[in-house]
């Protein structure tokens, strides 16, 4: 959808139907690294069609292709791919320049690079210290298996190290310093490694993985709970809603499964069925005042938008990592919800949503800041307001390429 903007509306304000979601981007990208290191032993089913996964697939192929002395690998805006390839390329033979989009070159990578250099990796910064692009020479001679890394910056740094640990000469003993944010993503990584036969121990704040080979296995990628969150938002904001999402499981590896619990407070009931889940609009809500997104930061935009449209004055914590995502998501949220009168006010590390001045504009103009989650989080407002204009709608291809098509199937008009 290569348009500068699209206009969304919904005639009935009711959503009813079945939506087949793509495979989880988070699981897919981990599975690709595990497969690449498995020497052909690990197979993948239901791989995501998201741009980030396509970019990582291409980057892995490029890393092993015959050719130039120094290979430039450009992963565009794919943050997970940048973090995972930063570790992976140290196990490959050759010289590599790992780069990305202009925004990617503003996103910090220093903590991960420091950890890898401590292990013996040969990595240098091409431009600004602490940021891509990186010059990597592999394979590295491991000097030290013991690494300490802060737990409250980005769980992707930790996952990046864990994914390659079993393929290093001495393995990895990773000490997590301080509080671990986004813990479910680290648990996901370890569980997926276990599916491929890679064992670990986690005692106290130290995770240990010894050198070992993957086993013959198939990793099945569950549909994406992050993508499901937007359908929860649509049911919550509809006049009446019932949506089935096949393939999602109660015992998911994905931290964003928390959306099922969070949305009970906004009038959405989840029924776990044999084939997936059923979302239903109810009149049952709660007076819960504080929501913590430390374990599931990718849900924050969705829930802030839903709460603002329902005029729920609630507070949020655990938003620290949102400032270093595709954009500064806190600033972006504040800018866009202000267009219909809502305010998100910082109070230390807590943010208070104020909705007393929420109004209904004739039409709403939403900027997306090159951030897929901004586009998808604000689109459900077409169930509340008459028309919502979304700028740069193609950003959804990063994680949910069929998003606009799926909206269209469930009654949204897209012009």
Q: Which residues are catalytic?
A: 298
Distance from C-alpha of 300 to C-alpha of 287, rounded to nearest angstrom: 18
Tokens of 293: 């997104």
Residues in the chain: 415
CA–CA separation, 320 vs 209, rounded Å?
29
In 194-275, where do the E strands start and end? Answer: 201-203, 206-209, 217-220, 240-246, 268-273
Q: What distances in angstroms separate CA 308 from CA 237, 325, 378, 410, 414, one per listed residue?
A: 11, 22, 11, 23, 23
For residue 344, give both structure tokens.
């998100």
CA distances from 83 to 29, 36, 78, 112 (A): 11, 15, 9, 8
The span from the CA of 277 to the CA of 222, in Å, is: 13
Instruction: Report the candidate in 167, 116, 136, 119 with the shortest Cα–Cα distance to residue 63.
Output: 136
Contact 116, 123 (CB under 8 A): yes
């Amino acid at each position: 959808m290569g348009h500068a903007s699209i206009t969304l509306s919904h005639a009935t304000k009711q959503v009813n139907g079945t939506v087949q979601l793509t495979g989880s981007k988070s699981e897919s990208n981990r599975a690709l690294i595990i497969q690449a290191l498995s020497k052909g032993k690990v197979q993948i089913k239901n791989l995501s069609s998201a741009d980030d996964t396509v970019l990582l697939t291409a980057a892995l192929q490029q890393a092993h292709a015959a050719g130039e002395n120094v290979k430039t690998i450009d992963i565009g805006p794919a943050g997970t791919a940048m973090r995972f390839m930063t570790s992976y390329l140290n196990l490959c033979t050759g010289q590599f320049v790992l780069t990305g989009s202009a925004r990617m070159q503003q996103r910090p990578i220093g903590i991960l690079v420091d950890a890898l250099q401590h292990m013996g990796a040969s990595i240098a910064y091409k431009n600004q210290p602490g940021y891509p692009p990186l010059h990597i020479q592999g394979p590295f001679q491991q000097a030290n298996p013991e690494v300490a890394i802060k737990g409250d910056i980005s769980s992707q740094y930790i996952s990046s190290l864990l994914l390659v640990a079993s393929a290093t000469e001495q393995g990895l003993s990773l000490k997590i310093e301080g509080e671990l944010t986004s813990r479910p993503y680290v648990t996901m990584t370890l569980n997926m490694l276990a599916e491929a036969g890679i064992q670990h121990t986690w005692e106290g704040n130290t995770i240990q993985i010894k050198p070992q080979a993957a086993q013959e296995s198939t990793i099945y990628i569950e549909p994406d709970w992050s993508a499901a969150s937007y359908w929860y938002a649509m049911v919550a904001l509809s006049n009446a809603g019932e949506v089935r999402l096949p393939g999602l499981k109660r015992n998911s590896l994905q931290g964003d499964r928390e959306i099922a619990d969070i949305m009970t407070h906004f009038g959405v009931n989840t029924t776990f069925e044999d084939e997936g889940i059923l979302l239903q609009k109810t009149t049952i809500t709660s007076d819960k005042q504080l929501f913590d997104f430390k374990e599931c930061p990718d849900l924050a935009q969705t829930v802030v938008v839903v709460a603002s449209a329902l005029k729920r004055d609630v507070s949020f914590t655990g938003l620290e990592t949102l400032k270093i995502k595709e954009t500064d998501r806190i600033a972006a949220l504040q800018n866009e919800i202000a267009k219909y009168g809502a305010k998100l006010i910082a109070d230390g590390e807590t943010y208070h949503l104020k909705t007393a001045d929420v109004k209904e504009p004739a039409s709403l103009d939403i900027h997306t800041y090159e951030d897929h989650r901004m586009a998808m989080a604000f689109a459900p407002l077409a169930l509340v307001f008459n028309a919502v204009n979304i700028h740069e709608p193609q950003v959804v291809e990063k994680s949910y390429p069929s998003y606009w098509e799926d909206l269209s199937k469930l009654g949204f008009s897209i012009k």
